Amino acid sequence: MKQLIIILLSVVFGVSLETKAQNDIEFLDNRIIYTKYYVADFFNDTSKWAWEWDVVYRRQSQLGESNAWEHPLRYSIRPWIAYQFTKMTRVSLNPIALFNTAPRYPLETDLDRDFERELRTTLQINNYAYYKRFNFTHRMRFESRWRDIDSDRANHNFRFRYRIRTRIPLNTDYFYKNNTWYITDYHEVHVEFGRDYGTNFFSQNRNFLGLGYRFWDWTRIELGYLYQFNTRGNNQQIDFSQGPMFYLFMDIISRNKRRYNYSF
């Protein structure tokens, strides 16, 4: 019941943000394609230490057009070191990663804005929970961000992110069985703060719904649709980005089901 309440609150937050954007704030439409590729494994069969690696690649439209593949949006590669504290809890650290991000392009004035290169350090906590056939993941991220590192406007701030994800098997009774089709859904909020940061503290909200398939025991794919809200620094405009999202997970850790019955 606690898990279901958290999901409902996340949905309400997303809906209320959309309503606020429509009624009080200028609503800027942007189409995106979001892809993520992830691989992870323990260092050996007896260790609780693991390594992880993820690559994010996104494309976007321009000036409200529908071609979401036309322009780049973001590219990043992140290596992680992780430790499995308990069967249900893993802590991961990405010491440093480089993010290359384009401005979103819903307005003519956005076309003159520069790309931003950012260095980011991330501490991540994943906690897993189950209720019958439902699989839940609580993820918390604490990020230290050095932004605009190539300009004389370089600045630093912190960000806290919370995400709850639900996965529901369709043709089996357990998410980690091979050849399992499942529904996947998540909601995430971003809160930013720091000396160099402005006043739009609730900077981002993401909502995703998709369909996934697990094969090879430790590999799965997901395809769905993302709704994402990003507040701008003037607090008068919100970028509303939407489009398809594709995930590829190669979670080699989940082969060892006798020790850890879970995966990302």
Over residues 249-260, the mean pLDDT reads 70
Determine the pLDDT at residue 33.
97
Q: Does 197 score more than 50 pLDDT?
A: yes
On whether the CB atoms of residues 113 and 103 are closer than 8 A, the answer is: yes
- Name the fold adopted by 2-255: Porin (2.40.160)
Q: Does 17 score more than 60 pLDDT?
A: no
Determine the pLDDT at residue 154.
86
Q: Give percent of the chain with pLDDT exceeding 90.
A: 58
Residues 133-176 have pLDDT tens digits of: 899 999 999 999 999 998 888 899 999 999 999 999 999 988 88
Determine the pLDDT at residue 47.
85
Question: CA–CA distance from 25 to each of 19, 35, 53, 192 (Å)?
Answer: 10, 29, 38, 20
More reliable by pLDDT, 48 or 2:
48
Determine the pLDDT at residue 3.
47
As a whole number of angstroms, the distance between CA 120 and CA 100 comes to 11
More reliable by pLDDT, 48 or 243:
243
As a whole number of angstroms, the distance between CA 19 and CA 32 comes to 21
